Amino acid sequence: MITFKQFHFFLLYALCFSDFGLMPEVEALGINYGQIGNNLLPPEDVLVLLSSLKVTKTRIYDTNPQILTAFANSGIELIVTVENENLNVLMNPEQALQWVAAHIKPYFPATRITGISVGNEIFTSSDSSLMSSLVPAMISIHGALVQLGLDSYIQVSSASSLGVLADSFPPSAGTFESDLNGLMSQFLQFLWNTKAPFWINAYPYFAYKDDPNRISLDYVLFNPNTGMVDPYTKVHYDNMLYAQVDAVIFALSRMGYGSMEVRVSETGWPSKGDPNEYGATLQNAAIYNRNLLRRQMNNEGTPLRPHQKLEVYVFALFNEDMKPGPTSERNYGLYHPDGTMAYNLGLSALSTPSSTPASITTTPSSTPASITTTPSSTPASIITTPSSTPASVSLTSSATHQARTSGYESLGYWIFVYLLTFQVVMRRPF
């Protein structure tokens, strides 16, 4: 007899290949697919889950061949990761070529591998050997992609934590830690030369957890709030994530790379935590991710780059029960390992466009640094002489983009049909 689980995935398959998926496709949204668990769904079922959500981008933390095989011909864009412990070996160009030939080439282009993250949060690892290996490994891997004719399809970068910033508040004060300047300069030069984005793992949750009495919960959750105004640029922010991203943009500008694209490689909110992990609740996790997804459906940019949609990868798809650390580390998932929802994200509500996009003010004021992004064949320059104008990044607000509508009114009908089918098949022997 057909099992409930078999029927469950039959229903998901039917929905995701019909026109009645749970939410419209969001171009700038991805989900991190971690695998540190002992009871996760097999990759084939994960693909069904992602397809039912209309998610077109995902990131994994290795090059798991089962996942790379399962995602073939799915159309889902995939970022893979070189594990930190492999960086020293892959500094060698011959080893890098063998790695790409074994882990990338056999699956491409059937599996749409679009990026390789060389390590994760290397600059804040406190391992000097690992940090010094990063750029040479990236150069070797990119060189291997060039040799195999894959460099125009696959970008090479590395995700950093927000800890690379010495200052992030206000956003216009964004600067990198001074002891990273040498390595960061090499890293940014590589990204610039290969036209790769800067990936940042940004978690407003951590800021709130560390200082819940001074930081507004509504501000970090994207809820309506008065927000904050950068005292130098007079730019208004109504949420912390955008402020964090713009702080990174200012830090890049101070290094001479003011026009480099920034993407959020991780952001999320835990649904459960230890007693001292303030704010880690089901309700807050649902609100944060729901509001974030709504903004992504509107293709919003940050106040400094309102016309450039911000690409964001939500962390994470699953709760991973084998992750070490505090309770929160095992409870970032939108789903439990068996594919059931960790909490109701209210996806149907996301078809309504947000009425509160980030707003900004363009009143000039004195600022400690005037950042100029003059177009040329070299990286954008930074001028540190005092000026009476804010950073010369576009400060015009963007119009809210309308999300595509889908056949939600018919979704109930199709669910009824499938449930009726379930009642019939459960009564028949197989």
Token pair, residue 151, equals: 């460099």
On whether the CB atoms of residues 262 and 321 are closer than 8 A, the answer is no
ω before 109 within 30° of 0 (cis)?
Answer: yes
Question: Own/partner pairs for 290-294, CB < 8 Å, 24+ apart?
Answer: 290/345, 290/346, 290/349, 290/350, 291/221, 291/222, 291/223, 291/354, 292/222, 292/241, 292/267, 293/23, 293/26, 293/29, 293/345, 293/347, 293/350, 294/222, 294/350, 294/352, 294/353, 294/354
Residue 34 confidence (pLDDT): 96
Provide CB contacts within 8 A for 189, sequence distance 6+.
Answer: 379
CATH annotation of 22-405: 3.20.20.80
- Continuous segment of H or E residues that includes residue 167: strand 165-167
266 catalytically annotated: yes
Question: Own/partner pairs for 55-58, CB < 8 Å, 24+ apart?
Answer: 55/26, 55/29, 55/30, 55/31, 56/25, 56/26, 56/27, 56/29, 56/30, 57/29, 57/30, 57/31, 57/114, 57/311, 57/313, 58/30, 58/31, 58/32, 58/33, 58/313, 58/317
Q: Quote the CA–CA distance of 210 and 94 in Å, as a whole number.
A: 45
Indicate the length of the chain as a whole number: 430
121 catalytically annotated: yes
Residue 53 confidence (pLDDT): 83
User: Treating both helix axes as pointing N-terminal to C-terminal, what angle do 4-16 and 43-52 enclose, rounded to 10 degrees?
Assistant: 50
Residue 27 confidence (pLDDT): 76
387 three-state secondary structure? strand
On whether the CB atoms of residues 60 and 117 are closer than 8 A, the answer is no
For residue 36, list its beta bridge partners. none
Q: Where do the domains of the chain lie?
A: 22-405
Within 10 A of 329 (CB to CB), how many other CB atoms are there? 15
Residue 177 confidence (pLDDT): 97
pLDDT in 10s for each residue of the chain, 430 residues: 445 444 454 444 444 433 334 455 667 789 999 999 888 999 999 999 998 888 899 999 999 999 999 999 999 999 999 999 999 999 999 999 999 999 999 999 999 999 999 999 999 998 999 999 999 999 999 999 999 999 999 999 999 999 999 999 999 999 999 999 999 999 999 999 999 999 999 999 999 999 999 999 999 999 999 999 999 999 999 999 999 999 999 999 999 999 999 999 999 999 999 999 999 999 999 999 999 999 999 999 999 999 999 999 999 999 999 999 999 999 999 999 989 999 987 654 454 444 343 333 333 333 333 343 333 334 433 333 333 333 334 333 333 333 333 333 444 544 544 555 545 444 444 4
Task: Name the catalytic one among 266, 300, 311, 320.
Answer: 266
Residue 51 confidence (pLDDT): 86
Q: Where are the beta strands (DSSP E) in 61-162?
A: 77-82, 112-120, 155-161
Task: Name the catalytic one among 83, 85, 94, 121.
Answer: 121
